[in-house]
Chain A
Amino acid sequence: MTLVTVENLNVAFGPRHVVRDVGFTIAPGEVLALVGESGSGKSLTALSLLQLLPPGAACTGQAVLDGQQVIGAPPRALRRLRGGVAGMVFQEPTNSLNPLARIGAQVAEAITLHRRLPAAGLRARVVELLDEVGFPDARDRLDAFPHQLSGGQRQRVMIAIALANDPKLLIADEPTTALDVTIQAQILKLLAARKAARGLAMLLISHDLSIVRRYADRVCVMKDGAIVEAGRVAAVFATPAHPYTRMLLDAEPRGRPAPLPSDAPEVMRGEDVRVHFAINHGILRRTVGVVRAVDGVNVTVRAGETVGLVGESGSGKSTIGFALLRLREAQGRIAFLGQDLAGLPPRVLRRLRAGMQIVFQDPFGSLSPRLSVGEIVAEGLSVHARDLSAAQREHRVAEALDTVGLPGDCAVRYPHEFSGGQRQRIAIARAMVLKPRFVVLDEPTSALDMSVQAQIVALLRELQQRHALGYLFISHDLKVVRAMAHRVMVLRGGKVVEEGPAEALFAHPREDYTRALMAAAFALEADETGVVAT
């Protein structure tokens, strides 16, 4: 008997059809993966199984969960299914947990919604669940608030909540996308272990093909709301029938950076860069300690060179980027094109900023929604090239948009009319219009779909070759770093653990930490030695 049967499922927002004629089945104990890029309708398909669609969505078709037709089912029946038959794990554990409630209470609530337990029994059950998902010291930490936990621990709590009522199906909507690579591997391993132990069926939603390849039994590839290909994972991945599947499989960032001429001049040098924050306490704000976000890091970037900066979140990699650009106070000697930036008056520093630029991670946050694309790109010119005429400025903007592969007519349009990849191109154009020598790329690809990532990597490489740019490439994604970087620095707790030429470092990592990072990134292996965080 199948646990889930979906036939002719359609979801529409008014005239816009976002899910079309989707059908699949899940047998007990089976893992079905829905794969597709953002906007392909995979999350809405999963949400319609529990009728948790956002308001305004019209859902038609057949969706049978555990023998109960869910579309048009009465609220009481749906409440039994939600949590009772199917548990759900969302992408972002920070947003899915109530920040004001203690984690013990949140797990307990999930239980009491479905059955009554005496207080002592309830507590024991909560501890048991948290122990089951590998939450450390569960018994003593029931009173912790979500903000006191790490991302991985929060996701463990979410999984405990999803498992609280022994569901038959677990719906995991991008369960690891918001987590560090190392933690990603741990969570996936945990999900696989729980699934095996409980005989759970799982609907796994992901854009990451390597996760799907490793953990799913069958896969449905979705594009524009429809399933374009379905079948056993091994078969689909070995012989993809649909061109879109082939495109997804080929989308991983590939290639290597162009070799660097040996006499390339140095553009940015940081010596013994330190960023410390004081921890203040009490009414008088006494300094009781210091957070060493960056602790004595040496960086050199030469023209045409990409230095990859990798590490888990909190390792201080973004802080180094900000410190080098003097967007954040830092100690140590920082020199741009041989000129020491320390103690420069703001006016002089502002003039130098034309030569050093930054591209941020989130292309949705880094563009002002109220300015047109032309105005956004021209902003730097209005500071650094004041004497340009309006026509000259327009020309420079069009030129910059052209370099990043955007049509010139988009200058009058607004950022929200563009997709994530196009927005990131706009952000790159904003940096490039000033003809910089050094660019900090702060996770420029991690908010983007896989196929778009590859395009942006190719664009960045091309721009580097054409203008001999020095890049400081900050990323937690080792695959992208491998495709971009000449040299790699591995960062942990604000210190450089290991550094060296990219090829050598990827081939023969010396440190345990580097090895653990790579195992997690390339093989989805969780490290047991304890060198990485939980």
Chain B
Amino acid sequence: MTLSPLTRRRLAVFRAHRRGFWSLWIFLALFGASLFAEFIANDRPLLISFDGHWYMPVLQDISEDRFGPDFLPTEADYSAPDVQAAIRAHGWMIWPAIPYHYDTIVLNLNVPAPAPPSWQNLLGTDDQARDVLSRVIYGFRLSVLFGFTLTIIASAIGIAAGAIQGYRGGLTDLLFQRFIEIWSGMPQLYLLIILGSVIAPGFWILLGFLLLFSWMSLTGVVRAEFLRGRNLEYVRAAKALGVSDIAVMWRHILPNAMVATLTFLPFTLSGSVTILASLDFLGFGLPPGSPSLGELVSQGKNNLQAPWLGITAFVVLGGVLTLLIFIGEAVRDAFDPRRMP
């Protein structure tokens, strides 16, 4: 693959930014691993050998009566001791590193839930006796995916809206500005509460709802860049060459606006992660039982006698946000034309 010299220089600047560079790798490794959360933390074995047959319960549903005539023809519960004993009698099975799904209730606890960290549950369990480590892995994945989706769509809408406002100016700009002022005055949280009482918000509904308001955060910056940009001499020069409006916006002004956007991007991204966490904390977020970092924070608050809940939530949320900001800083520097590698 051939890279343009500009791309190569940007990569070099990015690499020279040690902190951001390492943050990216750590983040990618964590995120990549969490995408395969089902293989890391699950209440189903990865592989079963039973009567000479091979089964992969992680990928397929197996009826429980397959393992013995005494069982019912329902989905197998591999954590049940008699099922385990039946499988062991005719074969063997390999479990994931953490033998709990995010919603698995750990039954064989010696202490009342929330149970403190032990070899069985490395980060302890929450007050509903679910393994915290497993919930953190799934919660991290969900938060990051939600944050990315929200940021990307919101940025795209925000940049387009800001670009049109700034480039057209005049009446378009005026009307759009007034609309944004009114729209941003809407009480987001109350609307969410009302929405929550009408329907149970899932991932996509929540995303769409937050999108209605979060696109505005970038519009101002992009609009300002385009207002400035349309009077730059090289933009005039491009118009004098006969370049069309859309090409001028895309090639000449947008790259300028992108630096401002990228400066905002880590904050938007971490903001999206935070907003999901805070909605979950308040109980207006994802449906009950979903793995969520916000819900873990709220459990930490409700169970001060179990500090591992609060500490875990703090370290995970703080870590994610810090990594994202470090990466964002490095990206921003890489796009700065004055910075040499």
Does B244 sit at the interface, judged by CB under 8 A? yes
A355 to chain B, nearest CB (A): 10
The 0/1 profile, CB within 8 Å of A marked 1, for residues 237-271 of chain B is 11111111001000110011000000000000000
Please determine whether A379 and B6 come into contact, CB atoms closer than 8 angstroms. Answer: no
Please determine whether A369 and B241 come into contact, CB atoms closer than 8 angstroms. Answer: no
B residues less than 8 Å from A34 (CB atoms): none
Please determine whether A383 and B234 come into contact, CB atoms closer than 8 angstroms. Answer: no
Interface centre among A365, A370, A412, A434 (most CB of B within 10 A): A370
B residues less than 8 Å from A325 (CB atoms): 240
Known: A383-B243, A427-B237. A412 touches B5 (CB 8 A): yes
Does B338 sit at the interface, judged by CB under 8 A? yes
Please determine whether B242 and A366 come into contact, CB atoms closer than 8 angstroms. Answer: no
| Stretch in A220-228, A346-354, A452-460, A501-509 with 4+ CB within 8 Å of B | A346-354
B residues less than 8 Å from A430 (CB atoms): 237, 241
Does A232 sit at the interface, judged by CB under 8 A? no
Please determine whether A383 and B5 come into contact, CB atoms closer than 8 angstroms. Answer: no
B243 to chain A, nearest CB (A): 5
Residue on B nearest A364 in the bound complex, by CB: B233
Q: CA separation between A356 and B252, bound complex, in Å?
A: 21
A residues less than 8 Å from B241 (CB atoms): 353-354, 357, 379-380, 383-384, 430, 434
A30 to chain B, nearest CB (A): 41
Please determine whether B337 and A360 come into contact, CB atoms closer than 8 angstroms. Answer: no
A350 to chain B, nearest CB (A): 4
Please determine whether A351 and B242 come into contact, CB atoms closer than 8 angstroms. Answer: yes
Please determine whether A366 and B240 come into contact, CB atoms closer than 8 angstroms. Answer: no
Please determine whether B242 and A383 come into contact, CB atoms closer than 8 angstroms. Answer: yes
Please determine whether B242 and A350 come into contact, CB atoms closer than 8 angstroms. Answer: yes
The 0/1 profile, CB within 8 Å of B marked 1, for residues 384-418 of chain A is 10000000000000000000000000001010100
B residues less than 8 Å from A370 (CB atoms): 6, 255-256, 337
The 0/1 profile, CB within 8 Å of A marked 1, for residues 192-234 of chain B is 0000000000000000000000000000000000000000111
Q: CA separation between A370 and B337, bound complex, in Å?
A: 7
Known: A350-B244, A412-B5. A366 touches B239 (CB 8 A): no
A-B contact count (CB 8 A): 70
B residues less than 8 Å from A414 (CB atoms): 6, 337
Please determine whether B252 and A368 come into contact, CB atoms closer than 8 angstroms. Answer: yes
Other-chain contact of A354, B5, B238, B242, B252 (Cβ < 8 Å) = B242
Please determine whether B242 and A372 come into contact, CB atoms closer than 8 angstroms. Answer: no
Known: A370-B256, A370-B337, A414-B337. A380 touches B242 (CB 8 A): yes
B residues less than 8 Å from A351 (CB atoms): 242
A residues less than 8 Å from B240 (CB atoms): 325, 327, 353, 356-358
A residues less than 8 Å from B238 (CB atoms): 368, 379
Please determine whether A366 and B234 come into contact, CB atoms closer than 8 angstroms. Answer: yes
Interface size bracket, B side: 20 to 34
Residue on A nearest B241 in the bound complex, by CB: A380
Does B168 sit at the interface, judged by CB under 8 A? no
Other-chain contact of A365, B234, B242, B251 (Cβ < 8 Å) = B234
B residues less than 8 Å from A383 (CB atoms): 241-244, 247
Q: CA separation between A366 and B239, bound complex, in Å?
A: 12
Known: A354-B242, A383-B241. A360 touches B236 (CB 8 A): yes
Residue on A nearest B256 in the bound complex, by CB: A370
A447 to chain B, nearest CB (A): 11
A residues less than 8 Å from B242 (CB atoms): 349-354, 380, 383-384
Please determine whether B5 and A372 come into contact, CB atoms closer than 8 angstroms. Answer: yes
Q: CA separation between A366 and B242, bound complex, in Å?
A: 15
Please determine whether B243 and A379 come into contact, CB atoms closer than 8 angstroms. Answer: yes
Q: CA separation between A137 and B242, bound complex, in Å?
A: 49
Interface centre among B236, B241, B244, B338 (most CB of A within 10 A): B241
Q: CA separation between A362 and B234, bound complex, in Å?
A: 10
A522 to chain B, nearest CB (A): 30
Does A367 sit at the interface, judged by CB under 8 A? yes
B residues less than 8 Å from A356 (CB atoms): 240
B window 289-317: CB within 8 A of A: none
The 0/1 profile, CB within 8 Å of A marked 1, for residues 306-330 of chain B is 0000000000000000000000000
A residues less than 8 Å from B338 (CB atoms): 416
Residue on A nearest B239 in the bound complex, by CB: A327
Q: CA separation between A474 and B242, bound complex, in Å?
A: 22
Please determine whether A365 and B5 come into contact, CB atoms closer than 8 angstroms. Answer: no
Known: A354-B242, A372-B5, A384-B242. A327 touches B236 (CB 8 A): yes
Known: A379-B238, A416-B338. A360 touches B243 (CB 8 A): no
Q: CA separation between A3 and B175, bound complex, in Å?
A: 62
Please determine whether A365 and B232 come into contact, CB atoms closer than 8 angstroms. Answer: yes
Other-chain contact of B337, A349, A352, A369 (Cβ < 8 Å) = A369
Please determine whether B5 and A368 come into contact, CB atoms closer than 8 angstroms. Answer: no
Q: CA separation between A327 and B241, bound complex, in Å?
A: 11
Q: CA separation between A416 and B337, bound complex, in Å?
A: 9
Q: CA separation between A125 and B9, bound complex, in Å?
A: 57
A window 327-367: CB within 8 A of B: 327, 349-354, 356-358, 360-362, 365-367
Q: CA separation between A353 and B244, bound complex, in Å?
A: 12
B63 to chain A, nearest CB (A): 61
A282 to chain B, nearest CB (A): 16
Q: CA separation between A351 and B243, bound complex, in Å?
A: 10
A residues less than 8 Å from B239 (CB atoms): 327
A472 to chain B, nearest CB (A): 13
A459 to chain B, nearest CB (A): 18
The 0/1 profile, CB within 8 Å of A marked 1, for residues 129-159 of chain B is 0000000000000000000000000000000
B172 to chain A, nearest CB (A): 16
Please determine whether B337 and A358 come into contact, CB atoms closer than 8 angstroms. Answer: no
Q: CA separation between A371 and B250, bound complex, in Å?
A: 12
Please determine whether B237 and A358 come into contact, CB atoms closer than 8 angstroms. Answer: yes
Q: CA separation between A414 and B236, bound complex, in Å?
A: 19
A residues less than 8 Å from B256 (CB atoms): 370
Q: CA separation between A413 and B56, bound complex, in Å?
A: 56
Q: CA separation between A416 and B339, bound complex, in Å?
A: 11
A223 to chain B, nearest CB (A): 26
B window 269-285: CB within 8 A of A: none
A344 to chain B, nearest CB (A): 12
Residue on B nearest A352 in the bound complex, by CB: B242
B20 to chain A, nearest CB (A): 21
Interface centre among B6, B240, B244 (most CB of A within 10 A): B240
Return the 8 tightest CB-CB contacts between A and B, nearest first: A353-B242, A350-B242, A366-B233, A365-B233, A380-B241, A368-B234, A370-B255, A358-B240
25 contacts between A and B (CB under 8 A): A327-B236, A357-B241, A358-B237, A361-B233, A362-B233, A368-B234, A368-B238, A368-B252, A368-B255, A370-B6, A370-B255, A372-B4, A376-B234, A379-B241, A379-B243, A379-B251, A380-B242, A383-B244, A383-B247, A384-B241, A384-B242, A416-B338, A427-B237, A430-B241, A434-B241
A contacts, CB < 8 Å to B: 325, 327, 349-354, 356-358, 360-362, 365-372, 376, 379-380, 383-384, 412, 414, 416, 427, 430, 434
With A356-B240, A383-B241 given, name 5 new contacts (CB 8 A): A327-B240, A371-B251, A372-B5, A383-B243, A414-B6
B contacts, CB < 8 Å to A: 4-6, 232-234, 236-244, 247, 251-252, 255-256, 337-338
